[in-house]
Amino acid sequence: MTTQNTTRRDVMQMAWGMIRGTMQREYRLVQDWTPGPSYGRQRATTAAEKRAVFAAALRKAWATVKMMEASRAARQPATRTAAEIRDQIAVIESADRMGTAGLARVDALHAELARAA
């Protein structure tokens, strides 16, 4: 999978691959800790438990993709000059409201500024 064009499909395939590989036992069997005659025995997972395992696999897949994207971005050479990047940072920081998207963009620009300088 190339990290430049990672799609949701790729992330879903990665998550299912995790389930088929290392998380297969968690997806199929669980320990039964409810009081009763089957206490402590293995049983088949319910749909809700399978969804929880798949959600954990999706979180791991997204984290992996984000890490791959961050390492790819760190290896890319800066295409803009430091002055242009500083100007963009100033424009974003001087806005009335920055928001979370603005904060993320400023962080990315600071990282790019560090590479450019």
Report the chain's terminal Cα–Cα distance, integer Å.
31
Q: What is the mean pLDDT of each run of 10 residues along the chain (117 residues)?
A: 70 92 86 89 91 93 88 73 89 87 87 82
Find all residues with CB under 8 Å of 53, minimum gap 6, and list them.
19, 23, 26, 27, 45
pLDDT on residue 78: 61
Percent of the chain with pLDDT over 90: 32
pLDDT at 3: 47
Average pLDDT, the chain: 86
Q: pTM for the whole thing?
A: 0.58
Give, to the nearest 10 degrees, the angle between helix 47-75 and helix 8-20: 120
Structure tokens of 55?
């959600």
**Burial group, residue 18, by CB count within 10 angstroms (0-12, 13-18, 19+):** buried
Q: What is the pLDDT of residues 5-21, one digit of tens each?
A: 678 898 999 999 999 98
